[in-house]
């Protein structure tokens, strides 16, 4: 009841997800999002009920499209998943038997925004910029980042989202968290780490284009979930640094990720 009373006093809710729609940005390694109406109003009779109609739609998508959270089965190394689970034991029957996205508990916890462009005095980071441990520490300042918190890292790159080629950064690279930044997050014991880019990691042109060290550090080594393709612009514009964070994945048994609609809840001043 106390929680309900606090909500009734009025809170501000920030939606941190992008919209899912045909033509939206998607990594080439994923099936792109597609939605179509399979039953329109007026296509069929509703059992003779006068004036009643219904409509249905069909959605096809990869599980890493749009705002999503990575399951621990998403990344392996040396034939194992997090916790030394053999990949050959984990992946059979058309789905993962261990560390599927349905094993991620809903998150209701403290969140912290790390606004790196604000730290640098720019609207968004330059292509391919690597966010280091020093950047994260400087951005954190005197704000605590506690074990079990969720850290959200803004690059400003979501400003490119309407242009798929620019957002994917195939010809430019994409700013993101460098390996030292990933280790910094792990050392703080965060429950999850999110960003507004499609890969979370720094994406550089050249031979390191496909390297994703933070995925290995966070998912494989430390069991820390990664949230990608977040929209943190409104939260940053309001200069919100701390908030109550809500996120719940879909129970897609054995899937490597789930679409999510994370929320930041802020009490009125």
C-alpha 238 chain-centroid distance: 20
The reported pTM is 0.94
CA–CA separation, 188 and 246 (whole Å): 20
pLDDT at 91 over 90: no
Closest C-alpha among 189, 186, 235, 239 to residue 213: 186
Report the pLDDT value the prediction gives residue 267, as an integer from 0 to 100: 87
pLDDT at 49 over 80: no
**Phi and psi (nearest 5°) for 259?**
-60, 145
As a whole number, the mean pLDDT across the chain is: 94
Q: What is the pLDDT of residues 103-158, one digit of tens each?
A: 999 999 999 999 999 999 999 999 999 999 999 999 999 999 999 999 999 999 99
Report the pLDDT value the prediction gives residue 12, as an integer from 0 to 100: 93
Report the pLDDT value the prediction gives residue 141, as an integer from 0 to 100: 94
CA–CA separation, 24 and 228 (whole Å): 14
Per-residue confidence band for 170, with pLDDT thresholds at 50, 70 and 90? very high
Per-residue confidence band for 38, with pLDDT thresholds at 50, 70 and 90? very high
DSSP state of 31: P
Per-residue confidence band for 4, with pLDDT thresholds at 50, 70 and 90? low
- What are the residues facing 114 on neighbouring strands? 153
Report the pLDDT value the prediction gives residue 6, as an integer from 0 to 100: 62
pLDDT at 3 over 80: no
Contacts of 162 (CB under 8 A, 6+ apart): none
**Phi and psi (nearest 5°) for 97?**
-90, -15
Closest C-alpha among 69, 205, 76 to residue 130: 205
Closest C-alpha among 206, 225, 205, 207 to residue 215: 225
Report the pLDDT value the prediction gives residue 52, as an integer from 0 to 100: 82
Q: What is the pLDDT of residues 195-247, one digit of tens each?
A: 999 999 999 998 887 889 999 999 999 999 999 999 999 999 999 999 999 99
Report the pLDDT value the prediction gives residue 154, as an integer from 0 to 100: 98
Report the pLDDT value the prediction gives residue 206, as an integer from 0 to 100: 87
Per-residue confidence band for 17, with pLDDT thresholds at 50, 70 and 90? very high
Contacts of 259 (CB under 8 A, 6+ apart): 20, 61, 63, 65, 66, 67, 68, 250
Q: List, in order of start, the domains of the chain with CATH numbers.
A: 2-266 (3.50.30.50)
DSSP state of 17: B
């Amino acid at each position: 009841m106390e929680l309900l009373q606090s909500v009734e006093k009025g809170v501000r809710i920030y939606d941190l997800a992008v919209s899912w729609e045909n033509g939206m940005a998607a990594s080439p390694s994923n099936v792109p999002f597609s939605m179509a109406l399979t039953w329109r109003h007026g296509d069929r009779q509703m059992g003779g009920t006068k004036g009643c109609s219904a409509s249905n739609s069909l959605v096809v998508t990869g599980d890493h499209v749009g705002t999503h959270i990575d399951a621990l089965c998403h990344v392996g190394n040396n034939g194992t998943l997090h916790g030394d689970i053999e990949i050959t034991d984990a992946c059979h029957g058309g789905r993962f038997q261990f560390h599927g996205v349905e094993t991620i508990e809903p998150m209701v916890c403290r969140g912290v925004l790390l606004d790196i462009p604000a730290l640098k005095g720019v609207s968004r980071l330059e292509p391919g910029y690597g966010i280091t441990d020093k950047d994260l520490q400087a951005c954190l300042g005197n704000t605590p980042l506690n074990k079990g918190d969720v850290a959200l890292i803004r690059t400003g790159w979501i400003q490119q989202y309407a242009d798929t080629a620019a957002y994917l950064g195939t010809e430019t690279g994409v700013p993101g968290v460098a390996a030292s930044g990933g280790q910094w997050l792990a050392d703080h014991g965060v429950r999850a780490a999110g960003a507004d880019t499609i890969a979370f990691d720094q994406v550089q042109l050249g031979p390191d284009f496909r390297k994703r060290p933070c995925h290995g550090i966070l998912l494989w080594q430390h069991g820390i979930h990664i949230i990608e393709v977040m929209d943190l612009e409104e939260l940053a514009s309001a200069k919100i640094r701390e908030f109550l964070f809500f996120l719940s994945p879909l129970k897609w048994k054995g899937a490597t990720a789930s679409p999510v609609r994370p929320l930041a809840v802020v009490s009125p001043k």
